[in-house]
Amino acid sequence: MKFYKNIIAVDRQLSDLDKFTLKFVRILSKHVDYVIVSGYVAILLGRSRASEDVDIIIPKISFNVFKKILKDLKKKGFYCLNAETDKEIFSYWESKFAIRFAEKRTAIPNIELKWAKTKADKIALSTKITVDLGKEKLKISNIELEIAFKEAVLKSQKDMEDARHLRNVKKGLNIKLIKRYKAMLDEIY
């Protein structure tokens, strides 16, 4: 794994979770910007642990854009776990809930898709970095924000281990930025 300014080059065989995520993101990125956050970031960067979902944040979109995304997802074998009709699914978002997508005949793994609601979500979108997997690319939250969120907000044993892993793999972390993010997160949460 090599770290550059806004790119992380990862040279490894893709896992089933990677392939699932890439399949979803290929569709999503045709319509809207995105950023992957939370546990899958640590997994993508080498942490060995299981995950049932991949958390993705997108900017708020219109119903018309959503219908296009949903149509493309259905064509590629995805379905929504929350509801069936376009309007029902979209109403979950309007109610500030995340929506989940999985491939047909499965429930796990799934994508938890959320609108950017908080300042932290918007920062994740605006400061994302690219993970270069060779022929494929994914956009993830910047590592300092990931560490701060896991240590200051989530705080579970799994999240603390994720944060420790990220601290170990990313040399040259901006410790002052992590502290600033933690202070900001304390105000939000």
pLDDT in tens, 118-131: 999 999 999 999 99
pLDDT band at 92 (very low <50, low <70, confident <90, very high): confident
Q: Closest by alpha carbon to 110, among 58, 150, 56, 60? A: 56
Q: What is the pLDDT of residue 164?
A: 98
pLDDT exceeds cutoff 90 at 80: yes
Provide the CA 83 distance to its chain's centre, in angstroms.
21
**pTM, to two decimals:** 0.96
Q: Report residue 34 as tokens.
A: 């995105």
Q: Report residue 9 as tokens.
A: 């080059």
* Type of residue numbered 34: Y
Q: What is the pLDDT of residue 94?
A: 86
Per-residue CA distances from 172 to 3, 5, 139, 149, 168 (Å): 9, 11, 20, 19, 10
Provide the CA 31 distance to its chain's centre, in angstroms.
16
* CATH annotation of 2-142: 3.30.460
Sheet with 99-103: list strands edge to edge.
2-3, 7-9, 129-132, 137-140, 35-37, 53-58, 110-115, 99-103, 78-80
3-class secondary-structure state, position 42: helix
Question: Average pLDDT, stretch 141-152?
Answer: 97
pLDDT band at 87 (very low <50, low <70, confident <90, very high): very high
pLDDT exceeds cutoff 90 at 189: no
pLDDT exceeds cutoff 90 at 30: yes
